[in-house]
Amino acid sequence: MPLRPSKKPKRTLPSSRSAKPTPKANQGSPSLSRTFFLGPFLALLVLLALNSSLIDLPNLIVSTPAYLLSLVTPAPTLWELSASPKGGLGLFTTSNSSVEAGTLLLSEEPLIIRSTSSKAGNMDELNKEVKALVDKLGKKEKEWFYELMEGDGDEGGEGDLTRVQAAFLPRTRRERGIVQTNGVMVREGWMGVFRWFSRINHSCRPNALYVYRPSSNKILVHSLIPLPPNTEILVSYVVDPFLPTSARQTELLRRYNFLCTCPRCSNALVSDKRSKEVKRLKLEAAGFDLKEGEKWRIGGKEAKSKLERMLELMDLEGIRAGRGEVAEDLARVGWGIGNLYFTSHWASKASQWFGEELGKDSEEALSMGRMAMARDSSGPSTAQAERLGWQRRSVEEWEDLCG
């Protein structure tokens, strides 16, 4: 604001020591002959299936052992690249796919990743720095990189360029323009450019959410809502979804050179009023975590009311990202007042929503799942709560968190 496989039982092979009739003189063993000829032939079929579209794959799968199926079964495709009504290209769910909320749509490593704190003294040096990164790519990766939308390479400049216009740019400036137009902050101080993720368009009311995982160096995209066939996959380029419309538009225009016309931006008067209330409620609800006598201190009933109102407003705005965090705060309230049922209910919701936003295997979803299963009469223990970071915070800390 992104299952450990069980051990498989050992497979018992059939015994090969069963008695066999001795073949007559000058007569080869039929079973040995079939094995000799069919073994290499089946292996050849599998190799061809992996590298050729001429093999009848369904028929091959029927006669292939289960442990080889993963080699010849293609992964299901949930999306395709197509023309977007927003202009250019975008990713859409396929005509035969119906996607549930929380589905992993994309898992992808960056083509290039670079630090935003460059040591380049001027634009020419920065151009060369980016060009050096692109030069390290393989032939295929370079093709993917140059297929991306090209900008003029200057933040707040003339915007996206046609291929004809881009052809007249200095080569190093062209690379910087592609990075500037398609780059996304993967973590603080680092930007990545992706073959497929960089194709996903923006909406202030997104239907998908992305998260970068440094441990695997991959960006993951999960659906926030059920997506019917032929639906464009949209994420938000703006980190804070509850900024005023004017602030979001300014950021998008400066960074990506376009004006958003999503339902929220088209109804700015109503949307901004709700967004302002959400930010106020978030700040006020934080008062529950303060000590007695501290500024903004509120009780559990009041905190519960404010957080539930936040969820209502987010629903009205069509904002699904961030619901896991609000549900976690509600579970925190339950823990604070010693209500086990309330804690478990909202911890379960938080686990579900974090799973849809960040992945069911995310630490956030797993931690809240464990909290939801707390069953002793005293409620979650202090140790359990501390593992979730549920320590009391000072007024200054809450001011920094809530902004």
Say if CB 154 and CB 255 are below 8 A apart. Answer: no
* pLDDT for 186: 85
Radius of gyration of the chain (CA): 28
What is the pLDDT, as a whole number, of residue 125? 77
pTM of the model: 0.70
Neighbours of 373 (CB within 10 A): 12
Angle formed at CA 73 by CA 69 and CA 76, multiple of 5 degrees: 140
Work out the percent of the chain whose per-residue pLDDT is above 70. 65
Nearest to 170 by CA among 194, 190, 154: 154
Burial annotation 152-185 (CB, 10 A radius, 16+ → b, else e): bbeeeeeebbeeeebeebeebbbbbbbbbbbbbe
In the prediction, which pLDDT does 190 show? 86
* Cβ neighbours of 299 (radius 10 Å): 13
DSSP-based helix, strand, coil % in the chain, nearest 5: 45, 10, 40
Q: What is the pLDDT of residue 290?
A: 63
Q: Answer positive or negative: Cα dihedral of 256, 262, 265, 271.
A: negative
Strand pairing category for 79-83 and 190-193: unpaired
Give residues with Cβ within 8 angstroms of 313, minimum separation 6. 274, 277, 278, 281
pLDDT under 50: residue ranges of the chain: 1-37, 52-75, 152-170, 376-377, 395, 398-399, 401-403
